[in-house]
Amino acid sequence: MNKNSYIARSRGVSRLYGHLILVTKYRLKTMSPEMMTFIQQSSVDLCNKWQCHCIDANGEEDHLHLLFRYAPQLHLSKFIGNFKSVSSRKVRQSFDSELRRYYWDWTKGFWSDGYAIDSVGFAPLDVLKKYVENQGKDRLTALRSVAQLSHPDLHLSIEGGNSRVKG
């Protein structure tokens, strides 16, 4: 899908992007690399079911970032609720024995009750995609590369856990 093109629907066109962040229940570090691959594949299927386009899905052991494109007719809260319940069910079915070490009560689900959703403007899409791609990699390297993509004339200095931008 061309990122510059608009999605045409019956009465209008749109170019909308969303950045969804889901956290595992109790923020437990339960997602193995195999589970993350499974969730990434499931994300594409779920987005297609809701007539969205999954641009990228990645995360770390305790959270998932989903970058997707959608039409204005999509009810985001319904999509997110369905995404959480279906992906949770699929993960629990496929990784039952692995997850039983962490979760003793499946009625509580795999994902935390809350979520974060951001609308993403067209301009920073490449920067956000790079951020999602770098999930799980060295944080210092990822932070520098994203900062450099956002503002090529600025240099990020990180000392003792504090970051400063130098012009």
Per-residue pLDDT tens for 52-67? Answer: 999 999 999 999 999 9
Q: Which domains does the chain have, with CATH numbers?
A: 7-121 (3.30.70.1290)
> What pLDDT, on the 0 to 100 scale, is given for residue 151?
53
Which bin fits 137, alpha (ψ -120 to 50), beta or left (φ > 0)? beta
pLDDT tier for residue 164 given thresholds of 50, 70 and 90: very low
Q: How far apart are CA 35 and CA 104, in angstroms?
A: 19
Alpha-carbon distance of 80 to 85, in angstroms, equals 9
Judging by beta carbons within 10 Å of its beta carbon (0-12, 13-18, 19+), is residue 160 exposed, middle or buried?
exposed
Dihedral over Cα of 25, 27, 32, 36: its sign: positive
Distances 25 to 18, 29, 30, 65, 157 between C-alpha atoms, Å: 22, 9, 9, 15, 34
pLDDT in tens, 87-144: 999 999 999 989 988 887 766 789 999 999 998 776 567 777 888 888 877 665 655 6
